[in-house]
Amino acid sequence: MTCLRVKEEFESQITPRHVNGGCPYDVSKEKGVEKRGRVPKCSKKKIFFHDQENTYEIVEIKPHINNAGIALFHLLHEATAEDMMEMYKTNAIGPMLVTKAFFPLLKKAAQESPNEVKSCSRAAVINISSGAGSIERIPLEFSVQPLFEYRCSKAALNMLTRCQAEAYKTDGIIAVAVAPGWVQTDMGGPKAHLKLHESVGGMMNMFDTLTEKHNGVFLNWRGQTLPW
């Protein structure tokens, strides 16, 4: 689901600060114009992104949500290095690059509201992960759906989250990994357990409860802690 679709469907239920538009950049590329545009560029304290026609300046971001992701449904013996690389690039390297680009704005947001208890009103990095990235749960789940390239990339995203949590905590920014559940999107398919509004609505409510004590945790869409 794109941020724009979420924005359209949830405009009445969430405040605009939750959704920073669907910036059309390719999260897996640091440089170069792709069909979606470019990863945002940082120039001192200003951040821009470009599409084919316009340049936009991004002036505020809190929280920052890394949502873009891809999945492959291969078996282990079908795996290729290229597929694995693509998965890591989009699901783990992309969130690292995009968060890096937005870091100055997150830091500024944290400095401007030092006494704000709710982290999403101050500054937070939310990495949309997956229960499939849980190493602890794998014996229960692998036989149902191997999804191993996806699992590896989301486990890498989870580790990135823990690293971001440590790296950014002195700047007053928290980082959390969130599993949205099995959702009826292009990726989840029509048989998924959750409708889009259930998962996104649940996550939005949960984001509002995040405080410093959640730094570096792995949560599901209801706000319950998941095993790494």
Ligand X SMILES: NC(=O)c1ccc[n+]([C@@H]2O[C@H](COP(=O)([O-])OP(=O)(O)OC[C@H]3O[C@@H](n4cnc5c(N)ncnc54)[C@H](OP(=O)(O)O)[C@@H]3O)[C@@H](O)[C@H]2O)c1
Pick the closest to residue 65 from 25, 12, 22, 9 (CA basis). Answer: 22
The reply to whether 187 sits near ligand X by the rule CB under 6 A is: yes
> Under the criterion CB under 6 A, does residue 98 sit at the interface with ligand X?
no
Respond yes or no: is residue 150 known to be catalytic: yes
Residue owning tokens 């949960």? 206
| Closest residue by Cα to residue 67 from 147, 179, 192, 188 | 179
Indicate if 154 belongs to the active site: yes
Q: Does 220 bind ligand X (CB under 6 A)?
A: no
Q: Which residues pair with 34 in a beta bridge?
A: 37
Number of residues that bind ligand X (CB under 6 A): 23
Q: Does the protein bind ligand X through residue 182 (CB under 6 A)?
A: yes
Give how far Cα 110 sits from Cα of 18, 119, 212, 227, Å.
16, 9, 12, 28
The separation between CA 176 and the C-alpha centre of its own chain, rounded to angstroms, equals: 9
Catalytic residue among 154, 168, 191, 213: 154
Contact 185, 228 (CB under 8 A): no
Q: Which is nearer to ligand X, 36 or 74 (CB)?
A: 36
Residues 125-144 that bind ligand X (CB under 6 A): 128, 130
Closest CB to ligand X among residues 133, 172? 133
CB under 6 A: which stretch of 10-18, 43-51, 116-124, 186-194 binds ligand X?
Answer: 186-194
Q: Which is nearer to ligand X, 188 or 202 (CB)?
A: 188
Beta carbon nearer to ligand X, 40 or 172: 40
Cβ proximity of 64 and 99 under 8 Å = yes
